[in-house]
Amino acid sequence: MPITDSLVMNAGLYGDEVALVEVNPEIREHRGTTWREYELVETNPAKRYRREMTWREFNDKANRFAHMLINDGVARGDKVAILLMNCLEWLPIYFGALKTGALVVPLNYRYTADEIKYCLELAEADYLIFGPEFIGRVEDIIEDVPRIRLSYFVGEDCPTFADSYDARVQHFSEREPGIRIKDQDDAALYFSSGTTGFPKAILHNHESLMAAAKTEQRHHGQTHDDVFLLIPPLYHTGAKMHWFGSLRSGSKAVILRGVRPEWILQTVSEEKCTIVWLLVPWAQDILDAIDSGRVNIDEYTLDQWRLMHIGAQPVPHCLIQRWKERFPHHDYDTNYGLSESTGPGCVHLGVETIDHVGAIGKAGYGWEAQVRKEDGSLVTPGSHEVGELCVKGRGLMTCYYNDPKATAEVLRDGWLYTGDMAEVDPDGFIYLVDRKKDVIIMGGENIYPVQIEDFLRSNIAIKDCAVIGVPDARLGETTLAIIEVKDGYTLTEDDVNRFCMKLPRYKRPRKVIFEDIPRNPTGKIEKPKLRERHGSGRLVEQQNKA
């Protein structure tokens, strides 16, 4: 069934129960009051510290927006782009667009004006809905994207080049729009993270989205009593598809606008959250804040928190060891996925196999997974052979939109070639080694940066790190370790070199520098930025001058 039917069902079954909560701690800190007091005196609901919405209100708002779009000419197959920060309006807008038979096109809120223009043109977007944070960027490019028929603004003081969503949507009907949607109908265009160049537009249908919802609920066992804390950006498949478990169970979710450790713990405590999905840096920050004494976990009510899970990037074994020491009653899980496979879940560790922490797991519910060598044969479990991870299931993308060449490179005989290199242990658990394009070849030896990064993070003084390849006249490439040091610690290059003596000689970083590690909103290290800053262009130029 199409994903929109789940919302209609929840509105019927749990109409008066809370579906979504938005928490914005910056407002509370600015006002200096508790959120309960603040709600009593605040006159503008959009500026409250805490807002909430029932399942019936959720569905009604989606229907109103659907009718507004239809009134404005939206037809089946049109594309509605969404450029919003996480907020209470985000998901009703998403579902409202889907109910018209149109495709939703979520946009990364970090995009520059030129990147927004690029993605709107690539997706052939017809309509755009955006928030106040993006007025300048949209104004810069909107006249250069003539295909956009109409743009809507969510918030106060609507700019002259857009229509006001808030002023108009309330005047439309709450009835279902009555447009029949089938499982195979196109539903969404998501963009790849662009970690290896310009993002690609990834096409999914309704069956794919529903498969993600079923996989998520099967993996994490969401019941109607669970409360999911949603922190990552909703434009990304990861956050959306993990929330789909709440959609399937009709349970409450809390959208937290902020990632400070005290904000996360406070929201878990106040909203009685039971499931929290974190990115590696956020889990690291929480542990560091506790270890430093800046945060006292005894001040929060956390007994109901049953599951912490992580995805979107390799997870250092030492991080989970630390987490279990602080939160021994938590179940822990890792989910692996790509936007091409509807986000998380095509490979899944499982809470019952924490003894294999460090692995991404085995094929998830409804999925198949293989690790293939260059010749197409499967790697032998336990052999330490490295191959490319391939997955197959109902959650696979239809294609890269309008890009048959790129599609053919990764979709072969129903299998998605992920570009991630992996190995398989004797028990069949899959371990990520690195991105295929990130492998460093030094003197003919393949070096996988993730393995070195995982080792470096076991140093108590290292907050984060990245390893990249840089040109070398003799070896072709050599390794550069970029290290971010924890507050309150000092670390020198000699310290790092001594620490790395435990590594095989060929894996030891040849160069070490200290600076902050850039990560994108889904937690992935932005290695293209690091290569641009420290990599081939600058070093090749220096070599040429020499």
Amino acid at 533: R
CB atoms near residue 407 (< 10 Å): 19
Report yes or no: 214 and 220 within 8 Å, Cβ to Cβ: no
* pLDDT score at 49: 86
Retrieve residue 198's tokens: 């310009």
Q: Which of 438, 441, 484, 442 is nearest to 313 (CA)?
A: 438
The beta strands (E) that lie in 219-342 are given as 227-230, 252-256, 275-278, 307-311, 331-338
Could you tell me the two tokens for 32?
A: 């200096």
pLDDT the model gives residue 541: 35
pLDDT of residue 74: 97
Give the three-state DSSP class for 250.
coil
What domains does the chain contain, in order, with CATH numbers? 3-258 (3.40.50.12780), 306-435 (2.30.38.10), 439-545 (3.30.300.30)
Neighbours of 427 (CB within 10 A): 12
Q: In degrees, to the nearest 5, what angle opens at C-alpha 333 toward C-alphas 328 and 336?
A: 155
At residue 546, the pLDDT reads: 30
| Structure-token match 């919405």, residue found | 53
Amino acid making up residue 198: F
The sign of the dihedral angle between the CA atoms of 483, 485, 491, 495 is negative
Tell me how far apart the alpha carbons of residues 454 and 513 are, in angstroms, rounded to a whole number.
17
pLDDT digits (tens, 9 = 90+) for 250-278: 999 999 999 999 999 999 999 999 999 99
Q: Each residue of 388-407: pLDDT tens digit?
A: 999 999 999 999 999 999 99
Q: Which range in 177-181, 434-438, 533-537 is most confidently predicted, on average pLDDT? A: 177-181
- Tokens encoding 192: 């790849």
Q: How far, in Å, CA of 522 to CA of 86, rounded? A: 13
Average pLDDT over residues 289-304: 94
312: pLDDT strictly greater than 70: no
- The average confidence (pLDDT) of the chain is 88
Residue corresponding to tokens 């089938």: 182
Within 13 Å and on the Cβ side, how many CA atoms surround 405?
Answer: 0
Place of tokens 């976990």: 297
Q: 224 pLDDT exceeds 80?
A: yes
Share of the chain above pLDDT 70, in %: 90
Higher pLDDT, 297 or 46: 297
pLDDT band at 538 (very low <50, low <70, confident <90, very high): very low
pLDDT score recorded for residue 537: 39
Residue 236, pLDDT score? 86
Cα four-point dihedral sign 88, 91, 94, 95 = negative
Q: Which residue has the tokens 């990520």?
A: 432
How far apart are the C-alpha atoms of 523 and 330, rounded to whole Å? 22
Spatial CA neighbour of 64 closest among 518, 114, 72: 72
Neighbours of 311 (CB within 10 A): 28
Q: Which one-letter amino acid corresponds to residue 125?
A: A
The confidence score (pLDDT) of residue 445 equals 67
Taking the C-alpha atoms of residue 84 and residue 524, their distance in angstroms, rounded to an integer, is: 21
d(CA 268, CA 260): 12
Nearest C-alpha neighbor of 131 from the set 147, 107, 114: 107
- The Cα–Cα gap between 449 and 310 comes to 20
Q: What backbone torsions phi and psi does residue 130 show, to the nearest 5 degrees?
A: -145, 165
Nearest CA-CA partner of 232 in 313, 167, 123, 320 = 313
Is the distance from CB of 420 to CB of 430 less than 8 angstroms? Answer: no
